[in-house]
Amino acid sequence: MKLMTNISHRELISEFRAMKVDAVVVGNEAVSSRFGVSFSLDEIRKLSESFHCYMLLNELYLPSELPLVQSWLNDLKTTNIQGILFQDFAIVEMTREMGWEIELMYAPDTLNTNSATLNDLAGLGISSAFLAREIDLETIERLSSRVKMPLCVQVHGVMYMAQSRRPLLTNYASETGMVLSDPSYLMQANGDERLAWIHEDRYGTHVQTQSELVGLDFLHRLSQAGIAWGYVDTQFMEPMYAIEIVNLYMDALKSIKEGTFNKDIHAYRLLLQGLGKGHVYDQGFFNDRTVYKIEDVRRMENAKKGE
Amino acid sequence: MPKKVSEIINGRRVIVKKPELLAPAGNLEKLKTAILYGADAVFIGGKEFSLRSSASNFSLEDIQEAVAFASEHGAHIHVTTNIVMHEENLEGLEDYLKALDALGVTAIICADPHVILTAKRLGLKMETHLSTQMSTTNEKAIAFWQRQGVDRVVLAREVSYAELKQIRVRTDLDLEYFIHGAMCINLSGRCMLSNYYSRRDANRGGCSQSCRWFYQLYDKEGQPVGQEPFTMSSRDLSLLREIPALIELGIDSFKIEGRMKSIHYIATVVSCYRKLIDAYCADPDGFVFDEFYEKEIAKAANRSLGKGFFYGVADKKGQLFNLRDEHPTQEFVMRVISYDPQNQIAKVEQRNHFRVGQQVEFFSPSHPNYVMTVEQLYNEAFEPIEVANHPMEILYLKVDRPLMPNDMARKVRT
């Protein structure tokens, strides 16, 4: 298993290069969402010379936005980028029309939840896939054994929750008279202690967890399951912390390769504990399942009332 | 290129490409009501593979009856197979799709590519429609799915009229567009709020509507900001006045959301849009919008209405900021079973409490609304009574205008 991470501060570039991070994900505010730093085309070109570099074209584009996307695709084709993270099948269609055989990682932030669909997509020109976060580890293992394409699983960082094409903060400010002074805010549901990041960009409003997913304990199993990429999302991290976290996971992956992970994991946990002051950690859905059938929902709610 | 929308016939322009009016139904009674009140097609959910897990979904026997009823009335049935499947949901898919096909279902509505491609692999007669859960927003994505054999795309609600115009000229694939009903505030199929807050999977029908909760905002230092609760609740969509523009654009199907809605809602909303579409198509150049449609829809609306993304990015007017902006609908009180024109007596089925002296409004797919005061009311044994307060009881009342079976009546709000 290799490590893929996004560059959320320019200071991270030289550190990631020194660490020999396996792949980086970059974006530009014109065509990407939830990317961290907006890199220019020239910067991306440069990065693609020294990194395995993936470009985020991870929006669902309206017709009026497609010419800009096409323009970016035309330019990106002249760089050395390794692949594109996408969720709009327009990207598959447009790269096909261009005759550009580039790695296309289907990354809709959810949706990738079963092996049959992923195998079908592999036959339609999709090269790899970013698994949904809301499936548990056992399911990931089962799924991975049946899928014929490289898979990416997020192993650390804030988690995607929702996106709206509406400027929800702007609308709220307009309605209530609140002055929007920060690029991002935290929101908390009444009666719930958890916080979530909420921010706006040209593509609307994005909601992500404040808590960071921590997949350290499951890294070995993910690697054994054949997961190709562990993704560390460095959004909302201070640069030094981001470096420490990425370094930690790089080391952990190395120890898996060398067969010493079971011995080293204790030290990694302690290190993470030390780094984690002021951070909220969460195991996401690795050991958890969602319900949807009415009888299961009622059972879960009754169990909660009994607690 | 898309088909021609209108032609000059006998010196007058008429619409020749009439859109399909597609209505929701959560059970057989609602399905029959939707068709009787003018739907060209109805979409329903089966017991498996469908969102809206708490709706009373259709068994295969129900679907068989639904298809038979629809066929008798020249209508079509679309079955939603629109969950995003997990590993444990894969079993039984092929058999289920074959069973639907054998029953004569016209189309399946799919969110998971595996369902689409399985249906194509099996060579089924049913059409495959790409669900709004896939959030398709442009013509290139449509082209991709058209190459995979999809017969229709249900567009994302984020597509404005201006964007829709661009899509329409660039694709000849059937397009379906929402015209009425509840809206998700977030991109369909991409919202995990319910998964995170309630551990209920929105993409398999378990959504807890966390978007409609109240939230507090904080700055990065943890200080509360904003005097009012922050919410992400959307108004319901209603595009009554926009129907002529959508017809002229040549959109193939107009979709009404609401498989969990009441029979009264379905009858009122479907009937309104049916009459509006028919009136416009018969004489588009002489058409004048009648406020009757808006007044009628308001009798069934349970949330404030808005235009969604039709005119571009949805501003604050498309959202609800009040404390729970839900209105009780005008109460549906009875359904007509039969009418005796000689004695002017209607046989009805009670649906809500009403009494002698109550003003009620009869509405129908086939004649104008009629308001009257209930003066004579009888029970099933034809004994005079003052109050109808038993659900589904059979009653008789004097109505001096002819009524048709399945006409309905609601209380008049004073």
* CATH code: domain of residue B368: 2.40.30.10
Confidence band of A305 (pLDDT split at 50, 70, 90) = confident
Which pLDDT score, from 0 to 100, does residue A59 have?
98
Same domain (yes/no): B263, B348 = no
Which pLDDT score, from 0 to 100, does residue B139 have?
98
d(CA B188, CA B267): 26
Same domain (yes/no): A146, A167 = no
Same domain (yes/no): B360, B309 = no
B117 contacts A110? CB cut-off 8 A: no
Same domain (yes/no): B314, B172 = yes
Instruction: Evaluate if residue B52 carries a pLDDT over 70.
Output: no
**CB of A12 closer than 8 Å to CB of A30:** no
Q: Is A31 exposed, middle or buried (0-12, 13-18, 19+ CB in 10 A)?
A: buried
Span A97-117, mean pLDDT?
Answer: 96
Instruction: Evaluate if residue B302 carries a pLDDT over 90.
Output: no
DSSP string, B120-138: HHTT-SSEEEE-GGG---S
Q: Give A287→chain B minimum CA distance, Å.
A: 12
Q: Give B240→chain A minimum CA distance, Å.
A: 22
Confidence band of B204 (pLDDT split at 50, 70, 90) = confident
Name the nearest CA neighbour of A237 among A4, A2, A11, A1.
A11
Domain region containing B54: 6-205+234-318
> How far does Cα B159 stand from its chain's mean position?
18
d(CA B234, CA B93): 34
Residue B220 located in a structural domain: no
Same domain (yes/no): B243, B377 = no
* Long-range CB contact pairs, A259-263, < 8 A, 24+: A261/A219, A261/A220, A262/A220
Same domain (yes/no): A75, A196 = no
d(CA B146, CA A137): 35
Instruction: Evaluate if residue B2 carries a pLDDT over 60.
Output: no
Same domain (yes/no): B250, B399 = no
Residue A37 located in a structural domain: yes
Residue B219 located in a structural domain: no
Q: Any CB–CB contact under 8 A between A109 and chain B? A: yes
Residue A15 located in a structural domain: yes
Q: In 10 A of CB B7, how many CB atoms?
A: 11
**Range with the poorest average pLDDT among A40-54, A277-291, B42-56, B137-151:** B42-56
**CB of A92 closer than 8 Å to CB of A86:** yes
Which pLDDT score, from 0 to 100, does residue B413 have?
78
Same domain (yes/no): B38, B141 = yes
Residue of B nearest to A182 (CA): B219
**Range with the poorest average pLDDT among A221-225, B31-35, B80-84, B404-408:** B80-84
Residue of A nearest to B137 (CA): A62
Residues above pLDDT 70, as percent of chain A: 100
Which pLDDT score, from 0 to 100, does residue A111 have?
92
Residues above pLDDT 90, as percent of chain A: 91
| Cross-chain CB nearest to A162 (options B137, B190, B227) | B190
Mark out the alpha helices in B39-109 (DSSP H runs).
60-72, 93-103
Residue A22 located in a structural domain: yes
Q: How many domains does chain B have?
A: 2
Same domain (yes/no): B265, B345 = no
Q: How many domains does chain A have?
A: 2
Same domain (yes/no): A70, A173 = no
DSSP string, A70-135: HHHHHHHTTS---EEEE--HHHHHHHHHHT---EEEE--SS----HHHHHHHHTTT--EEE--TTS
| Cross-chain CB nearest to A292 (options B137, B201, B213) | B201
Instruction: Evaluate if residue B324 carries a pLDDT over 80.
Output: no
Residue A295 located in a structural domain: no
Residue A307 located in a structural domain: no
**pLDDT digits 0-9 by tens, A132-187:** 999 999 999 999 999 999 999 999 999 999 999 999 999 999 999 999 999 899 99
Residue A293 located in a structural domain: no
Residue identified by tokens 């509405």 is B363
Residue B226 located in a structural domain: no
**pLDDT digits 0-9 by tens, A11-64:** 999 999 999 999 999 999 999 999 989 999 999 999 999 999 999 999 999 999
Please tell me whether residue B326 adopts helix, strand or coil conformation.
strand
This prediction has a pTM of 0.95
Same domain (yes/no): B302, B387 = no
d(CA B98, CA B85): 18
Q: Any CB–CB contact under 8 A between B230 and chain A? A: yes
Same domain (yes/no): B120, B196 = yes
Same domain (yes/no): A231, A116 = yes
Name the nearest CA neighbour of B56 among B67, B68, B44.
B44
Mutation for A interface: B90, B195, B321, most A CBs within 10 A: B195
A121 chain-B contacts, CB cut-off 8 A:
113
Residue B215 located in a structural domain: no
Same domain (yes/no): A150, A190 = no
B158 contacts A291? CB cut-off 8 A: no
Residues above pLDDT 90, as percent of chain B: 81
Same domain (yes/no): B312, B356 = no
**Range with the poorest average pLDDT among A36-50, A95-109, A256-270, A279-293:** A279-293
Residue A299 located in a structural domain: no
Residue A301 located in a structural domain: no
A89 chain-B contacts, CB cut-off 8 A:
136, 140-141, 144-145
B contact residues 202-221, partner A, Cβ 8 Å cutoff: 203-206, 210-211, 213-220
Q: Any CB–CB contact under 8 A between A247 and chain B? A: no
CATH code of residue A153: 3.20.20.60
Same domain (yes/no): A107, A182 = no
Residue B229 located in a structural domain: no
Confidence band of B50 (pLDDT split at 50, 70, 90) = confident
The mean predicted confidence, pLDDT, of chain B is 93
Same domain (yes/no): A171, A145 = no
**CB of B370 closer than 8 Å to CB of B410:** no
A62 contacts B158? CB cut-off 8 A: yes
CATH code of residue B91: 3.20.20.70
Same domain (yes/no): A30, A142 = yes
Same domain (yes/no): B287, B344 = no
Which pLDDT score, from 0 to 100, does residue A295 have?
75
Instruction: Evaluate if residue B14 carries a pLDDT over 60.
Output: yes
Which pLDDT score, from 0 to 100, does residue B56 have?
67
Q: In 10 A of CB B363, how many CB atoms?
A: 23
**pLDDT digits 0-9 by tens, A52-87:** 999 999 999 999 999 999 999 999 999 999 999 999
Confidence band of B53 (pLDDT split at 50, 70, 90) = low
Q: Give A186→chain B minimum CA distance, Å.
A: 5
Residue B221 located in a structural domain: no
Last residue of a domain, one of A178, A210, A242: A210
Same domain (yes/no): A83, A196 = no
Domain region containing A172: 163-210
Same domain (yes/no): A202, A216 = no
More confident residue, B133 or A293: B133
Instruction: Evaluate if residue B299 carries a pLDDT over 70.
Output: yes
The mean predicted confidence, pLDDT, of chain A is 95
Residue B323 located in a structural domain: no
Same domain (yes/no): B292, B343 = no
Span B79-89, mean pLDDT?
Answer: 90
**CB of A91 closer than 8 Å to CB of A104:** yes
Residue B225 located in a structural domain: no
Same domain (yes/no): A113, A133 = yes
Q: Any CB–CB contact under 8 A between A135 and chain B? A: yes
**Range with the poorest average pLDDT among A199-208, B8-17, B64-73:** B8-17
Same domain (yes/no): A113, A254 = yes
Name the nearest CA neighbour of B277 among B180, B159, B174.
B180
**CB of B187 closer than 8 Å to CB of B158:** yes
* φ, ψ for residue B12, nearest 5 deg: -125, 140
Which pLDDT score, from 0 to 100, does residue A307 have?
63
